[in-house]
């Protein structure tokens, strides 16, 4: 006879096995990540071992001592002193500066063109909007390398020889051998003018912030633009007169069969910069158009109802709100322009890829080292642009309350 306390126990659970871990979602995710990391590390280890084995077969060593050997080649566009007796390291620095020059000028020019064309795409004037549409479609659907070759060919084959050079104001000359512009010559005391200009720019930024705060708090529009212009122009002018600094210009002159003096811009530099800006501006224009269309029509109608002029509506209402849509894809366009500058070698413009990744690589036979350095430099440039644009994006985005 069963006792009252003799109750049946719980049914036995399933036996534990390693296979049952796979059906646990959290455990399965960890296992997959471990396997993927192991595969990545194994692949990297295999590649390194393969390189080491090939280096041993070729009796080569890994190192960067070649950077201090004489380069023994010329560069047609240099912003710092350089001769073919300098080291490969200095040649790489010259190429890096050339890359930075193209990227900097191209980004500025592409931004200006892109914003103008994007605004024109939404113009009520049928002809203006159609021309902007054709511009965008042509640039976005043409390979960038073809555009580089096209504009280089136009500059080389249509511009005249130096003796028949096109002149602008009698001081700037456009030829098929390059562009010659006046070169500023800064003499003693001009450093104070430069410091005053930097202080004036900082003051203009502070004035702009104060004007914006007053406008947001009271609705009053202070003449911040005129005040900023007066600071940027007036303070350096006063410093220029006070310290007695002098500024002269070295104007190019035709001597023999070519120009001498002034600042020389190679046709390759001009063609590459313009082609990259021309190509990228088409994509920026579409980003700008999308950002403007993202602004609620009620905002525009309300500002027009208050009697604001169309230009002020665009500057004070539309563009500030559209930047939150424009800036994120704009970052990608800046990165693409910078990386597309590596196509410079196609027209003979010597940049970082042409020096460190081209001539230096062929002369020294250091393929791995050269390409590692080129990769790291482009990675550093891209990350710098991304950091700056992400900071600016946080500055202009809408803040929820």
* 243 within 8 A of 192, measured Cβ to Cβ: yes
What is the number of helices (H) and of strands (E) in the chain? Answer: 13, 8
Tokens 């080569």 identify what position?
60
| 362 and 303 belong to one structural domain | yes
| 223 and 158 belong to one structural domain | no
Question: What pLDDT does residue 34 have?
Answer: 92
* 339 within 8 A of 382, measured Cβ to Cβ: yes
Length of the chain, please? 401
Q: Give the end of a domain, one of 244, 259, 276.
A: 244
The verdict on residue 274 lying in a domain is: yes
| 271 and 391 belong to one structural domain | yes
| 198 and 341 belong to one structural domain | no
Rounded CA-CA distance 320/302 in Å is: 16
| 360 and 276 belong to one structural domain | yes
Rounded CA-CA distance 6/384 in Å is: 75
Question: What pLDDT does residue 259 have?
Answer: 81
**What range does the domain containing 321 cover?**
88-162+267-396
| 278 and 381 belong to one structural domain | yes
Question: What pLDDT does residue 19 have?
Answer: 61
Question: What pLDDT does residue 134 have?
Answer: 95
Rounded CA-CA distance 354/351 in Å is: 5
Question: What pLDDT does residue 373 have?
Answer: 93
Instruction: List C-alpha distances in Å: 245 to 176, 188, 238.
Output: 36, 6, 11
Rounded CA-CA distance 390/387 in Å is: 5
* 296 within 8 A of 398, measured Cβ to Cβ: no
* 202 within 8 A of 212, measured Cβ to Cβ: no
Rounded CA-CA distance 339/393 in Å is: 21
| 209 and 304 belong to one structural domain | no
| 234 and 308 belong to one structural domain | no
| 194 and 158 belong to one structural domain | no
The verdict on residue 79 lying in a domain is: no
The verdict on residue 180 lying in a domain is: no
Taking Cα atoms as reference points, which of 286, 336, 384 lies closest to residue 392? Answer: 384
Beta bridge partners of 255: 258
Give the 3-state secondary structure of residue 161: coil
Beta bridge partners of 184: 249
Rounded CA-CA distance 280/110 in Å is: 6
Strands (E), 86-199: 166-168, 172-175, 178-181, 183-186
Give the tens place of pLDDT for each residue, 88-126: 999 999 999 999 999 999 999 999 999 999 999 988 899
Alpha carbon 246 to chain centroid, angstroms = 34
Block means of pLDDT (10 residues each) for the chain, length 401 residues?
Answer: 56 56 77 92 92 82 87 86 90 93 95 93 90 94 94 90 83 86 76 81 84 78 77 79 72 81 86 95 94 84 79 80 88 94 90 91 88 94 93 74 51
The verdict on residue 330 lying in a domain is: yes
The verdict on residue 370 lying in a domain is: yes
Give the 3-state secondary structure of residue 181: strand
Region at 256 (left for phi over 0; alpha for psi -120 to 50; beta for the rest): left
| 338 and 304 belong to one structural domain | yes
| 288 and 388 belong to one structural domain | yes
Q: How many domains does the chain have?
A: 2
Tokens 């202070």 identify what position?
222
Instruction: List C-alpha distances in Å: 216 to 209, 221, 362.
Output: 11, 9, 60
Question: What pLDDT does residue 400 have?
Answer: 53
């Amino acid at each position: 006879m069963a006792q009252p306390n003799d109750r049946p126990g719980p049914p036995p659970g399933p036996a534990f096995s390693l296979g049952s871990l796979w059906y646990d979602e959290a455990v399965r995710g960890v296992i997959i990540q471990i396997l993927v990391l192991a595969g990545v590390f194994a692949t990297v280890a295999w590649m390194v071992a393969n390189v080491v084995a090939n280096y041993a077969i070729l009796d080569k060593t890994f190192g960067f001592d070649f950077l201090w050997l004489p380069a023994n080649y010329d560069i047609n566009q240099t912003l710092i002193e350089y001769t073919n007796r300098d080291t490969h390291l200095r040649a790489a620095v010259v190429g890096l500066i050339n890359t930075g020059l193209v990227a900097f000028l191209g980004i500025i020019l592409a931004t200006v063109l892109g914003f103008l064309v994007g605004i024109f795409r939404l113009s009520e004037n049928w002809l203006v909007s159609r021309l902007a549409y054709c511009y965008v479609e042509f640039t976005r659907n043409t390979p960038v390398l073809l555009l580089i070759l096209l504009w280089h060919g136009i500059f080389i084959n249509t511009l005249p020889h130096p003796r028949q050079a096109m002149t602008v104001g009698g001081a700037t000359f456009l030829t098929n051998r390059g562009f010659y512009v006046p070169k500023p010559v800064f003499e003693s005391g001009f450093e104070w003018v430069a410091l005053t200009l930097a202080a004036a720019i900082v003051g203009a930024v502070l004035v702009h912030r104060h004007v914006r705060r007053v406008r947001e708090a009271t609705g009053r529009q202070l003449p911040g633009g005129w005040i900023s212009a007066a600071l940027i122009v007036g303070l350096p002018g006063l410093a220029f007169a006070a310290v007695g600094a002098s500024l002269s210009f070295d104007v190019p002159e035709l001597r023999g069969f070519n120009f001498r003096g002034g600042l020389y811009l190679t046709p390759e530099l001009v063609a590459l910069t313009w082609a990259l800006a021309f190509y990228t501006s088409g994509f920026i224009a579409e980003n700008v158009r999308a950002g403007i269309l993202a602004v609620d029509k009620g905002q525009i109608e309300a500002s027009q109802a208050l009697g604001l002029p169309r230009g002020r509506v665009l500057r004070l209402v539309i563009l500030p709100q559209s930047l939150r849509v424009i800036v994120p894809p704009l970052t990608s366009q800046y990165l693409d322009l910078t990386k597309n500058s590596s196509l410079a070698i196609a027209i003979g413009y010597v940049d970082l890829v042409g020096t460190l990744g081209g001539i230096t690589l062929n002369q020294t036979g250091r393929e791995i080292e050269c390409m590692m350095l080129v990769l790291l430099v482009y990675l550093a440039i891209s990350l710098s642009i991304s950091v700056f644009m992400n900071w600016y994006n946080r500055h202009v985005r809408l803040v929820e309350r």
